[in-house]
Amino acid sequence: MTILPLHLHFSLTRSPVKPHSLPHAPRLKLTQHARPQVVAGPPENSVEINGTFPAMVSGQLPSGLRRELMPSHVAVIMDGNRRWARMRGLPIGSGYEAGAQALRRIVELCCEWGIRVLTVFVFSSDNWFRPKVETDLLMDLFERVLKYELQHFERENVRVSLIGDTTKLPKSLQELLANSVGTAQKNSRLHLIMAVNYSGQNDVVQACQKIAVKVNDGLIKPNDINKFLVEKELETNCTDYPHPDLLVRTSGELRISNFLLWQLAYTELYFTNSLWPDFGEDEFVEALFSFQKRQRRYGGRNS
Q: Which one-letter amino acid corresponds to residue 51?
A: G
Please state, as a whole number, how many other Cβ atoms lie within 10 Å of the Cβ of residue 272.
Answer: 20
Please state, as a whole number, how many other Cβ atoms lie within 10 Å of the Cβ of residue 209.
Answer: 10
Using an 8 Å Cβ cutoff, are 31 and 15 in contact? yes
* CA-based nearest residue to 73, from 112, 120, 38, 7: 120
Give the separation between CA 34 and CA 126, rounded to whole angstroms.
39
Catalytic-role residue among 79, 203, 245, 278:
79
* CA-based nearest residue to 163, from 202, 108, 137, 105: 202
Using an 8 Å Cβ cutoff, are 122 and 173 in contact? no
Q: What is the CA radius of gyration of the chain?
A: 19
* CA-based nearest residue to 281, from 9, 2, 38, 15: 15
Has 203 been annotated as catalytic? no
Helix (H) or strand (E) holding 135: helix 132-155
CA atoms within 13 A on the CB side of 185: 7
Give the separation between CA 280 and CA 277, rounded to whole angstroms.
8
- Residues counted in the chain: 303
The separation between the first and the last C-alpha atoms of the chain, rounded to the nearest angstrom, is 38
Enumerate the active-site residues: 79
